[in-house]
Structure 1
Amino acid sequence: MDIPLTAGATLRPLVLPARADAADAGEFRELARVRNLVYREITGRDEDDLTPEALLPILRSRKERTTVVWAVRIGEEIVGRAIVNIPHEEGSRVAIVSIELRPHVWGRGIGSAVLPHLEDVARQHGRSVLQEWLEQQPSDGPRIEAQTGFGSVPDDHVSRFLLRHGYQLEQVYRVSHLTLSPETIQHARELLADGRAASTDYRVVHWMLPTPADRAEGYAWMKSRMSTDAPSAGIETDEETWDVARLQEGERRLAEMGRTVLVTAAEHIATGELSAFTELAIGPDHDAVTHQEDTLVLHEHRGHRLGQLVKCAAMLEWLDVAPRSPRVITYNAEENRPMLSINEAMGFTPTAYEGAWKKELT
């Protein structure tokens, strides 16, 4: 049933199809197309595009979270979407929300009319904190500083909307790109040699998903530590529990999306413990941009240049996986100086910034 909003807009709950190419998937496929348009119009880039086949597994509810999706319409035209994710981690207070509208319908009160519906879902699930991550359009005007003191975002229409509705900018992520050129590849070889010299107690290991059985337990443990060891500032981060079953289910989902993923890790030679890792991923088009996803050095193994070791080793190994991919994109918290220093040494350059916003519900 359509929910009236304002300015002729409505909110329609989206029933996900069984398959992206099913006979009843027309509305979902249009929503996927509009989702890509929104991201392109805001970021000026197409590297976040997802096919309907890749988007569908992301939006399905699963054991670890409940996902609620609406299409925002003006008449019969889909102009955006709204999403609430409810993590199922024990004791979680958090709902992760998103309102994504095409810029040509901004300023009509639609977002303000959508927000109470997202908050209602959060309250129904006993959540008292809303969090949202979003990239804003570049601007040379005034800026808003993050609560961390590291990084800022434009003081624009989006920021004013969030501030007016009780959100606070907690953290800023730097979006960086590295062009895969002969020069950056040669530099990665030099940095890898330097990293090996500083980490003689460790060896580099690689695998493509799905993860081999003998690596699954250690990899799942490192994925758990992403929620506790990575900088999160004032953002509430639920401590996640990853076991082999959760890891395998996530990898089946990535396979359904058509993702190719390389994991590069550092193994502590004396104990056999996996101590650091990074992931490089790409969709079905291997001529597209590569995404550097989770990267972490376990806290107890820091100080041995393992971040530099795994990131450089991964990039060189990736040349055999997707040799025509032109560049790599990565996201890092602005206060994560150790990881940013590695990126800068490799030749990554800042291209955009993403804000992490938080609201406490009363």
Structure 2
Amino acid sequence: MTEPTDVEFRPLTIPASMDASDADEFREFTRVRNEVYREIAGTDDDALTPEELLPHYQPSPEEIRYVWVAVVDGEIVGRVSVDLPLEEGSRAAFWLIELLRAHQGRGIGTAGYRLIEEKAREHGRTVLQSWTQHPDAPGSRLEPPTGFGSIPEDRAARFYLRNGYTLEQIERESALDLEASAPDVARLLAAAEAKATGYRVVQWQLPTPAEHVAAYAWMKSRMSTDTPAGALEFDEEVWDAERVARHDRKTLDGGRTMLVTAAQHVATGELVAFNELVIGHDPAAASHQEDTLVLREHRGHKLGQLVKCAGLTVWRRGIAPRSPKVITYNAEENRPMLDINEAIGFVPVAYNGAWKKVLE
């Protein structure tokens, strides 16, 4: 493919706040990001305001993030980003390339990808991983080694294959109609409460109360080790009170609301399962279900169903009554969680491919 001569990649200017004098580029960057997602999915379910997005681009002790804007004729047409976790001994780099549809197929993505490999090698990273949505389409399909799910061999898939990547996992995006699902949520909550003897529900909105910080930190750390990952590689994360505080600030500084619903083992007082629901500044926008986990030693008591349904009940009734739906993501082989989601009323709306390359 011919090298594009009219594109410039320049580091994104990240302002201290959206009131700063240099915030205009980040505002346009966010608009283009949202437009790319709208072109792919046909919805604004993943749209964020600049104020919501900016806290995630501030410096963090957990990772180094490099971001470039792709500029053509003075206009931002996409972004290139690579995240380098700072866990000790990490080999991983996580990246994305997103371009407006009108600028695809011209070699801009290929040129941007070189920046990613350069930064990965510069920092000694050898495992490159990336996710992208693959809207359903006729024709040949690709299946991951997990044996669960498939995606079309579309333009994005061919880009990954051409650059030496293998498809490792399929991730399902699901949506739940909050109002229509209410009767099923109530029924499943009652069933979970009957099964989960010896446990009780504990809930809070961020910021995390001091009495729950240590337990929440431990459960968040388990997300990096106890969820299905196929052959993808994730570093075991270390969470402490400071990291929980940073996590909370990212949400709150962006004007977002998060509800954490946990299951507490009554005999020990330990928190052993949790679920997160979050919404942005628009009370009528889609909500998102983020992390859900049941610690391994407490599985088999319907605690996943308990925390999901208890959270959805409070969410719909009191926290986000105008939100029409909830979006969530699960590995396609994560049948225990998908069983719960499907029973509640979540339906598949999209599939993402998880791609991996090991540098020589």
TM-score class normalised by the smaller sequence: over 0.9
**Equivalent residue in structure 2 for 1:159, among 132, 157, 160:** 157
1:220 aligns with 2:217: yes
The one-character-per-residue Cα deviations of 1:251-309 (angstroms, maximum 9, x if unpaired) are: 01111111100000100010111110000000011111110000001111001111011
CA–CA distance in structure 1, aligned partners of residues 149 and 8 of structure 2: 36
After superposition, residues 27-38 of structure 1 pair within 5 angstroms as: 27-38=25-36
SS of 2:202's equivalent in the other structure is strand
Offset at 1:68?
0.7
Offset at 1:21?
2.8
The one-character-per-residue Cα deviations of 1:208-264 (angstroms, maximum 9, x if unpaired) are: 110111111101100000001111111101100001110011101111111100000
Q: Which residue of 1 aligns with 2:334?
A: 336
Q: Which residue of 1 aligns with 2:298?
A: 301
Gapped regions of structure 1 (runs ≥ 5)? none
1:264 aligns with 2:261: yes
After superposition, residues 122-141 of structure 1 pair within 5 angstroms as: 122-141=120-139
CA–CA distance in structure 1, aligned partners of residues 313 and 266 of structure 2: 22
After superposition, residues 1-362 of structure 1 pair within 5 angstroms as: 6-181=4-179, 183-319=180-316, 320-362=318-360
Contact 1:170 1:358 in 2 (8 A): yes
SS of 1:127's equivalent in the other structure is coil
Contact 1:7 1:108 in 2 (8 A): no
Mean CA deviation greater in 100-109 or 7-16: 7-16
Task: Count residues with an aligned counterpart.
Answer: 358
CA–CA distance in structure 2, aligned partners of residues 247 and 81 of structure 1: 28
TM-score by length of 2: 0.97
Offset at 1:331?
0.3
Offset at 1:84?
0.8
Offset at 1:136?
2.3
The one-character-per-residue Cα deviations of 1:39-67 (angstroms, maximum 9, x if unpaired) are: 11011110111111111111223100011
CA–CA distance in structure 2, aligned partners of residues 256 and 340 of structure 1: 32
CA–CA distance in structure 2, aligned partners of residues 177 and 14 of structure 1: 32
CA–CA distance in structure 1, aligned partners of residues 166 and 302 of structure 2: 34
Gapped regions of structure 2 (runs ≥ 5)? none
CA–CA distance in structure 2, aligned partners of residues 60 and 356 of structure 1: 26
Aligned residues: CA RMSD: 1.2
Task: For 1:152, give the aligned amino acid.
Answer: S
Task: For 1:289, give the aligned amino acid.
Answer: A
Identity of aligned residues (%): 57
The one-character-per-residue Cα deviations of 1:300-319 (angstroms, maximum 9, x if unpaired) are: 10011110111011100112
Contact 2:13 2:25 in 1 (8 A): no
| Dislocated runs of 4+, deviation >3 Å | none
Change (3 A) 1:233 1:190: same
The one-character-per-residue Cα deviations of 1:67-119 (angstroms, maximum 9, x if unpaired) are: 11100011211110000101001111001111111111111111111111111
Offset at 1:8?
1.3
